[in-house]
Amino acid sequence: MKKIELFLALVMGVSFVFPVLVLSVEGGRTPQELNKEAYFLVRQARKALYQKEERAAYDDFIKAGEVYAEIVRQYPDWQADSINAKIEQCRKEADEIGRRIFKLPDGYIEIKRDMTREGNRYDKGRIDEDKVKKIAENQYEVGGNTVTLVEEGPLQGASCSCPDYTYRGRKFGFACRHIWAIVLKEKLLKQ
């Protein structure tokens, strides 16, 4: 009887001290298994960087970030601060590499947080936000002009058919009112 009580106390103590050992979604992997997979993807990415294989490193950092994100989805309370920091680090590393290896096609400006708000184009874009019509997967019509979006790795770009963009915006690297309308309507700066 004492042995059974001792065994039960031991099992209860282990499950109290190490509750993560019993975490597992039926048919899924434990957070430890997912964490281990992501850890080895990050190591593999760093090795690829050392070997000057930037595309492989970029892909591995993206995959590692996705695995860490899966931990957050399945086990939101499991080492949340640490996992969120790892997700942010993977995104940062992938973004740095992606900016070196990917380029936007000619005629596109990059959509980014520190976009130049030249003149009153931003304010006019805010007014035109309600006039945006989606005409294709990555194409929009705003006031009779066509805005086309493109993605290359971590880069997002836009181009417009209006004369303001064609003759000034593209040359000097700023968005016209139509591009601003799309950026604001689709909340592209928050992504």
Cα radius of gyration rounded to whole Å, the chain: 24
Give 14-58 pLDDT, tens digit per residue: 444 444 444 444 457 899 999 999 999 999 999 998 999 999 999
What would the pLDDT profile of 165-186 be if each residue is shown by its tens digit?
A: 988 888 888 899 999 999 998 8
Residue 64 has pLDDT above 50, yes or no: yes
Does residue 89 carry a pLDDT above 80?
Answer: yes
Query: In the chain, where does DSSP find H-type helix?
Result: 2-17, 31-50, 54-74, 80-101, 121-128, 163-164, 170-172, 177-185
pLDDT at 13 over 60: no
**Residue-wise pLDDT tens digits, 133-168:** 999 889 999 989 999 999 988 889 999 999 999 888
Exposure string for 88-113, b = 16+ CB within 10 A, e = fewer: eebbebbeebbeeeeebeeebbebee
- pLDDT for 66 beyond 80: yes
Task: List the domains of the chain with CATH numbers.
Answer: 15-100 (1.20.58.80), 109-190 (no CATH)
Contacts of 90 (CB under 8 A, 6+ apart): 38, 42, 61, 62, 64, 65, 68
Evaluate if pTM is beyond 0.75: no
The residues, ordered by sequence, that sit 6+ positions from 73 with a Cβ below 8 Å of its Cβ are: none
- Sequence-distant (6+) residues with CB within 8 A of 67 are 34, 37, 38, 41
Query: If 0-12 CB within 10 Å is exposed, 13-18 middle and 19+ buried, where does residue 74 land?
Result: middle
